[in-house]
Amino acid sequence: MTRFVLSLCLLSSYVSFSQQAIIALEAKDHSLTERYQLMKSNSQTFQDYKVIKEFVLDGVWKIAMDSLNKQKLLLKHSLENVSRLEAGLKSIEFTLRKEHESTAQIKFESTHISLLGIDFSKSTFLALVSFVFAGSVILTSLAIGRMKVMRIRMKEKILMADLINNEYEEFKRKTLEKQTKLSRELQTERNKIEELMRA
């Protein structure tokens, strides 16, 4: 009966500890690094090693995958923005080309241009068109510059996602190696205990 009560106490403390670890890991306001630290601090220690429950490790993997999927979604939105900017740039280039053709045609056809019933000299009209053209070129330059910045940010996000994935794979590999080593050491200790009990 005493063993049953002791086993029941150990089981309830284990379930309580497991639930606390899951709740702490699933909290939405933690970063990936904080979640890793929580997993590490809530895991059991055996000598110099950390023993991490498989379901906790699966939870951290799910959180890491969610973070990667979020980054991929952000990347997708950035690519869509770049596509929209490229379409706008083509429209602006088309407008600039049409304005240039119109200005060249007007230049050859007459020396004076009537605008809203007022006659302008050729040089005054050209100055006005040049001002509009310069504004369009500046806007085009700004759009191109913004596209370059967005491409750089997109590359940084891709590199960051790759870095996170590589770090996680390295962590997973090391964790599996530690788990295997701990299992071997535990089996060795069990064998020693069995030999002592036989003797």
For 77-95, what is each residue's pLDDT tens digit? Answer: 999 999 999 999 999 899 8
How many Cα atoms sit within 13 Å of 18 on the Cβ side? Answer: 11
Tell me the three state secondary structure of residue 48: coil
Tell me the three state secondary structure of residue 47: coil
**Residue 17 — pLDDT band, cuts 50, 70, 90?**
very low
Total-model pTM: 0.33
**Residue 140 — pLDDT band, cuts 50, 70, 90?**
very high
Residue 106's alpha-carbon distances to 41, 123, 138, in angstroms, are 77, 12, 24
Both tokens of 143, joined, read 């759009």
Among 108, 107, 112, 146, which residue's Cα sits nearest to residue 130? 107
d(CA 44, CA 59): 16
